[in-house]
C-alpha cells in the first residue's frame, strides 16, 4: 500500500505505489542520463546507453501511467510490454527482458510483497541471461544477477519489500563498482559498465522517492523518431481505396482461407493475410463507405484483438512532400515480393539505400537507435509478407530481432553491423528469388566487407595500450579502436593499411555532415595517390559525428 512515512513499515506495495516507484525510477534515470552516456568505453561522441535506457523506460512508464489496473501483476505486464516495444539498443533490449522476467514471475499478484519481489528479481535475472546469446560478465547482466542474489539473501532476514529494495539498490551499486574487475576493457578505459550503472539509477530512483529525496526533474514525454517512407506513394493511383484497415484476430475455428479471401475481395483490394501462433492479421484497402466492413466481417469469425484504420490519402500527401523535400523515392513492393527494411543515419545513405531497392528506411544509427516498435512499424503495413531487416549497427541488432519475432510476417534479420555491410547486402537483393536464398546471399556478402570509422575523441582515455587525448582523430576498424592521429588523412590511411586495402578492389569513402565536400575530395585524392591500383569512390553519407565511414571490399 502507499506509504506516507519514511520508515516503510507496510508489508506490501500496491498498484498505485508501484506506479509511483516506476515514475521515480524513470525521473532519476533521466536526471543521470548524460552520466551514463559518458561511460562509453570508446571516446566517441555518440555514447548513448543512457539515452537508450531512458527511452526504453519512458515507453514502459507510458504503458502504466494512465492504466486503470490496480493489481501489481497486471501493471507489471503492461510495463514489460511497453519496455519491449520501446526498447532501443542492446541496453534497452536487455532492460526490457529484465522487466519481462519480473512481470512473468508476479503475473497473478495483487500486491507486491517481499516473496513476490524476490521471485520477480530472480526471474528477471534468468530471463535477461537467456535473452543474450553469449552473456558477458561485468555488464548489466552481472549487476542484475548480483541484485537477485542479494534479494534472495535478504528474504531470510526481512519480509518488508521496502527494506529489500534498499538492499538490492546497495547490491547494484557494489556490483557496478566491481564491473571493471570482470571486464578488462572497462578497467583499461577507467569506467564502469554503463548499462549496469543505468540499472542502478533505476532502483536508486525508487529509493530516493521512498525516502522523499529530490529527483531533480519531472517526467516528460520523449518523442520517438518516425520511420520515413513506410509505404509507397503509389497508393494514390488506386482509385476509391481511401482507407487502410488492419485487423488482428483469432478465429473461433479453422479459417478457410479461400472463402476468407473471396469475401474480402468483395470489400476491397491490396488484401494480405498473415498468421503466427494462431493469430491472424488481415490487411486491406477499402473505400470510405466500406471502412468498417472488414472489421465487422472478422468479428463474425472470431475475437478481434487489435484494429488499425488509416487515411491513405492523408498519408500519401504528407509522405510525398517529405520524399520530394529529401530527394528520396522509395520503390514500390508488391505482394509476394521481398521488402527490405534498413536503418540509415543520414540522408546520403538513405538515398543510396533507396536507389538499391529498400522498401522502408528507418532514421537512426549509432547516435539514435530506433526502438523495436519503430522497426516493427516500418514494415507491418507493407503489402508483402516477406521482409528482410538490415540493422546496420551492432547496437540495433537485438531490437531488430525482437521486431522480427513480434510480427506475423516472415521477417528475417540479416545481421549487418555496419553501414557498408548493409549496402553490400542490398546489392544481393534479387527480384524473383526465394526469401531464404536472398538471405543467404546477403549473409555471404557481408563477410567480404571491412569497415572503418573516423571521428574525433571527446575525452582523454587510455585504451588498447595507447593514450588518446581529447580532440584527436580516432580510427575504428570493424568497431575496434586502432589508432589516434593528428589529422583525418592519417586516420584514413591508417585504417586502409590495417585493412590491407591493397588486396581489395574497391575503397569507398562516405563523408558526413560535419565535413565539407571540398575537404572530402582532397582526402579522396590523397587516397588515390596512395592506392593507385584500387577503385576509389567518394559519396555523401550525411552521418552525424563521423567525418568518414570507409568501406573496403
| Rg of the chain over all Cα atoms, to the nearest angstrom | 25
d(Cα 425, Cα 432) in Å, to the nearest integer? 16
Dihedral over Cα of 73, 79, 84, 87: its sign? negative
SS3 at position 299: helix
Using CA atoms, how far residue 43 sits from 158, 426, 490, in Å, is 44, 31, 18
pLDDT on residue 130? 87
pLDDT, position 15: 92
8 A C-beta contact, residue 225 and residue 368: yes
pLDDT above 50 for 99: yes
Is 550 a residue whose pLDDT tops 90? yes
Is pLDDT above 60 for 454? yes
User: In angstroms, how far apart are the furthest CA atoms of the chain?
Assistant: 77
Helices (H), 72-160: 72-86, 89-105, 114-130, 140-154
pLDDT at 5: 35
With bands split at pLDDT 50, 70 and 90, how would you rate the model's confidence at 263? Answer: confident
Worst-scoring range by mean pLDDT, 174-178, 201-205, 246-250? 246-250
In the block, cell 541471461 appears at 129
pLDDT value at 531 more than 90 = yes
Dihedral sign (CA 237, 241, 246, 251):
negative
442 close to 425: Cβ distance less than 8 angstroms: yes
Tell me, rounded to whole angstroms, the distance of Cα 29 from its chain centroid: 18
| Structural domains in the chain, sorted by start | 12-210 (1.25.40.340), 233-316 (3.30.70.3100), 330-446 (3.40.50.510), 450-552 (3.30.1180)
Give the neighbor-by-neighbor strand order of the sheet with 473-477: 480-485, 473-477, 450-456, 548-552, 506-511, 535-540
Mean pLDDT for the stretch of residues 212-226? 51
What's residue 322's pLDDT? 39
- pLDDT, tens digit, for every residue of 279-338? 787 778 788 888 888 888 999 999 988 777 766 655 444 444 334 335 577 888 888 899
Name which residue leads in pLDDT, 243 or 410.
Answer: 410
Please write the tens of the pLDDT for every residue from 107-124: 999 999 999 999 999 999
The DSSP code for 334 is -
Cβ neighbours of 48 (radius 10 Å) = 24
Cα separation of 113 and 18, whole Å?
11
Residue 368 has pLDDT above 90, yes or no: no
Cβ-based neighbours of 74, under 8 Å, separated by 6 or more: 15, 67
Least confident range of 49-58, 128-137, 501-510:
128-137
| Mean pLDDT (whole number) for 156-161 | 91
Residue 232 predicted with pLDDT over 70: no
Amino acid at each position: 500500500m502507499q506509504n506516507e512515512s519514511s520508515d516503510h513499515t507496510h508489508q506490501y506495495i500496491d498498484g498505485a505505489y508501484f506506479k509511483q516507484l516506476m515514475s521515480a525510477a524513470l525521473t532519476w534515470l533521466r536526471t543521470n542520463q548524460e552520466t551514463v552516456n559518458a561511460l562509453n568505453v570508446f571516446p566517441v561522441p555518440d555514447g548513448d546507453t543512457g539515452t537508450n535506457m531512458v527511452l526504453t523506460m519512458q515507453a514502459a512508464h507510458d504503458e502504466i501511467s494512465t492504466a486503470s489496473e490496480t493489481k501489481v501483476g497486471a501493471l507489471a505486464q503492461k510495463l514489460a510490454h511497453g519496455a519491449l516495444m520501446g526498447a532501443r539498443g542492446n541496453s534497452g533490449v536487455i532492460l526490457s527482458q529484465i522487466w519481462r522476467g519480473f512481470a512473468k514471475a508476479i503475473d497473478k499478484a495483487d500486491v507486491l510483497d517481499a516473496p513476490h519481489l524476490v521471485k520477480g528479481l530472480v526471474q528477471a535475472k534468468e530471463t535477461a541471461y537467456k535473452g543474450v546469446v553469449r552473456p558477458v560478465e561485468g555488464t548489466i547482466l552481472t549487476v542484475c544477477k548480483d541484485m537477485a542474489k542479494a534479494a534472495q539473501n535478504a528474504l531470510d532476514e526481512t519480509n518488508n519489500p521496502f527494506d529489500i529494495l534498499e538492499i538490492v539498490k546497495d547490491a547494484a551499486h557494489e556490483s557496478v563498482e566491481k564491473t571493471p574487475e570482470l571486464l578488462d576493457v572497462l578497467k583499461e578505459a577507467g569506467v564502469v559498465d554503463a548499462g549496469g550503472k543505468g540499472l542502478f539509477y533505476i532502483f536508486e530512483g525508487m529509493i530516493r522517492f521512498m525516502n522523499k529525496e529530490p529527483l531533480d526533474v519531472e517526467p516528460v514525454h520523449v518523442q520517438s523518431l518516425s520511420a520515413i517512407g513506410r509505404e509507397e506513394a503509389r497508393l494514390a493511383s488506386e482509385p476509391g481505396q481511401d482507407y487502410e484497415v488492419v485487423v488482428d484476430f483469432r478465429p473461433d475455428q479453422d479459417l478457410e482461407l479461400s472463402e476468407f479471401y473471396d469475401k474480402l475481395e468483395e470489400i476491397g483490394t491490396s488484401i494480405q493475410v498473415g498468421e503466427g501462433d494462431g493469430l491472424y492479421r488481415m490487411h486491406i484497402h477499402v473505400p470510405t463507405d466500406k471502412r468498417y466492413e472488414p472489421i465487422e466481417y472478422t468479428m463474425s469469425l472470431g475475437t478481434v484483438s487489435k484494429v488499425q484504420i488509416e487515411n491513405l490519402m492523408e498519408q500519401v500527401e504528407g509522405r510525398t512532400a517529405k520524399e520530394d523535400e529529401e530527394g528520396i523515392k522509395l520503390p514500390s513492393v508488391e505482394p509476394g515480393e521481398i521488402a527490405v527494411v534498413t536503418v540509415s543515419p543520414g540522408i546520403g545513405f538513405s538515398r543510396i539505400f533507396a536507389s538499391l531497392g529498400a522498401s522502408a528506411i528507418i532514421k537512426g544509427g549509432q547516435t539514435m537507435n530506433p526502438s523495436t516498435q519503430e522497426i516493427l512499424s516500418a514494415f507491418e503495413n507493407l503489402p508483402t509478407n516477406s521482409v528482410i531487416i538490415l540493422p546496420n549497427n551492432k547496437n540495433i541488432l537485438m531490437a531488430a530481432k525482437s521486431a522480427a519475432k513480434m510480427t506475423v510476417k516472415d521477417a528475417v534479420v540479416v545481421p549487418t553491423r555496419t553501414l557498408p555491410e548493409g549496402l553490400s547486402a542490398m546489392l544481393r537483393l534479387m527480384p524473383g528469388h526465394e526469401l531464404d536464398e536472398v538471405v543467404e546471399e546477403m549473409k555471404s556478402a557481408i563477410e567480404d566487407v571491412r569497415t572503418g570509422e573516423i571521428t574525433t575523441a571527446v575525452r582523454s582515455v587510455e585504451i588498447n595500450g595507447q593514450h588518446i587525448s581529447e580532440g584527436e582523430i580516432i580510427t575504428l576498424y570493424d568497431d575496434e579502436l586502432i589508432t589516434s592521429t593528428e589529422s583525418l588523412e592519417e586516420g584514413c590511411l591508417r585504417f586502409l593499411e590495417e585493412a590491407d586495402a591493397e588486396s581489395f578492389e574497391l575503397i569507398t569513402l562516405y563523408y558526413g555532415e560535419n565535413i565539407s565536400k571540398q575537404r572530402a575530395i582532397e582526402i579522396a585524392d590523397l587516397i588515390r595517390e596512395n592506392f593507385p591500383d584500387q577503385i576509389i569512390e567518394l559519396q555523401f553519407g550525411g552521418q552525424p559525428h563521423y567525418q568518414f565511414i570507409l568501406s573496403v571490399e
